[in-house]
A and B are shown apart, each in its own frame.
Chain A
């Protein structure tokens, strides 16, 4: 199993550009999450999904959108990039049973 994969690893965006951060998991997990980590800080939840077709907002959803058309994929969309979205983005997944969330390696995004 590859676990949770994220692409790209690094990206530099100009203000106002759009992009999609990709996240995929091959563990057949129902639950998937997007977090962001600002420098020197803990992670904050952006969006999450409890299954295909179901998504909900987390603590910091503004400026982002998500979709969950399949169990495996949970892309995060930035429509109009702003410098405040410079961060490291982590995707995670969890089975319906068990507590552990499995994290991807992260995407480092810089908006200039």
Chain B
């Protein structure tokens, strides 16, 4: 079974608007964490944000926030005030246990329009 599901293959967003990227996960481990990574066309993997399963508050990092709904097993990424430089592929990933092995979703391509 897929551990991470990203159902939106591609999205368009207008510059300065907010965009929400969906991510659902499946695990029976009580200790886990959710990550979001950005991969621009140049190919590198850029860490954006992390949410641990025991964290009480939703994670935020600048214009990125993670909408963590534990009961629904969802960890959506919200990018506020989109910029042209936000155009990239975005991956949701999950770690289970203490070794921090990551399982990745298939990704969502975001294109920001001027």
Q: Residues on A close to B: CB < 8 A?
A: 31, 33, 35, 40-45, 48, 50, 56, 58-59, 88, 90, 92, 94, 99-103, 105-106
Contact = CB atoms under 8 A, between A and B. Distances in A.
A88 B43 contact: yes
Interface in B11-52: 33, 35, 43-45, 47, 50, 52
Contacts of A40: 106-107
The dominant DSSP class at the B interface is strand
Contacts, number: 57
Size bin of chain B's contact surface? 20 to 34
A101 B106 contact: no
Contacts of A35: 102, 104
Nearest to A50: B99
Top 5 A-B residue pairs of the complex, sorted by shortest distance between their CB atoms: A42-B104, A103-B45, A99-B50, A43-B104, A100-B47
